[in-house]
Structure 1
Amino acid sequence: MSENLKTELLSQGVDYATALERFMGKEELYKRFLVKFLADDNFNQLEANIGCRNIEEAFKCAHTIKGLCGNLGFDNLLEEDAQIVEILRSGSMDGVEELFETLSTKYHKLCETIKKYE
């Protein structure tokens, strides 16, 4: 994995060191999972389910994203997503759209960074 990618990930709040430990120190394996993250559709599904106020399905998507972010060290996305998960878990949508806007900005920036080094 290139130093430039590492630097950009770190600058966006990715806990690269901890994530790499989860991948047994194998940078190329970690990079493959970064690319797989780009193909995951849960973010788009979360957006759609928030839009149609489907709390149950939105919760499933947000919870899956939370797990992916945790495993990949995406601490920069975890804060908002974890809050979304808890709000949806309670059966509410209060504040979810605002949190999703912030999450979306960070998510798209991170995806663009990963795409640059694919």
Structure 2
Amino acid sequence: MYENEKEIINFETGLNRFVGSKDLYITCLIKFIEDKSFDLAKEAMFLKSYDKAFENLHALKGLSGNLSLDLLYDCCCNIVDELRSKKHNNLDKQFSDLSNKYYKTIEYIKFLYTNK
């Protein structure tokens, strides 16, 4: 179902960040599904409220980095850098790409760890 699973979640690195506690790591991955940073960023992008988008995407970047959600993290880095530099030329395309990767990540976490 997922061709590049290791690109979505780098489980080995994530588990190391959680000092080998698999249960805690999985609990945090499941909690990530409930986080509202993406939804708030999406709303802010729609309203062209780029400071608010930056704030929420920066939070999403931190979460995805700490959980070793590499596919999403890399995309967050790009758009956060763009927002930080006040360049808004490619934001729609970048946010569309980020959205696709976010939903792919959420779908994969649900597939692996929940009954939803």
TM bin, normalised by shorter chain, reads 0.7 to 0.9
* Distance apart, 1:91 and its partner CA: 2.0
> 1:21-100 residue pairs with structure 2 within 5 A?
21-100=16-95
TM-score (norm 1): 0.86
CA shift digits 1:38-65 (9 cap, x unpaired): 0000001111111111011000011101
CA distance, structure 1, for counterparts of residue 26 and residue 4 of structure 2 = 14
Matched residue type, 2:70: D
List gaps (5 residues or longer) in structure 2. none
- When the two chains are superposed, the root-mean-square deviation of aligned CA atoms in Å is 1.6
Contact 1:20 1:27 in 2 (8 A): yes
Change (3 A) 1:85 1:111: same
* Distance apart, 1:109 and its partner CA: 1.4
Q: Which moved more, 1:92-101 or 1:47-56?
A: 92-101
Aligned length: 111
Contact 1:84 1:100 in 2 (8 A): yes
TM-score (norm 2): 0.88
CA distance, structure 2, for counterparts of residue 38 and residue 93 of structure 1 = 28
Contact 2:72 2:98 in 1 (8 A): yes
- Sequence identity (%): 34
* Distance apart, 1:89 and its partner CA: 0.8
CA distance, structure 1, for counterparts of residue 58 and residue 106 of structure 2 = 19
List gaps (5 residues or longer) in structure 1. 1-7
Partner of residue 5, structure 2:
11
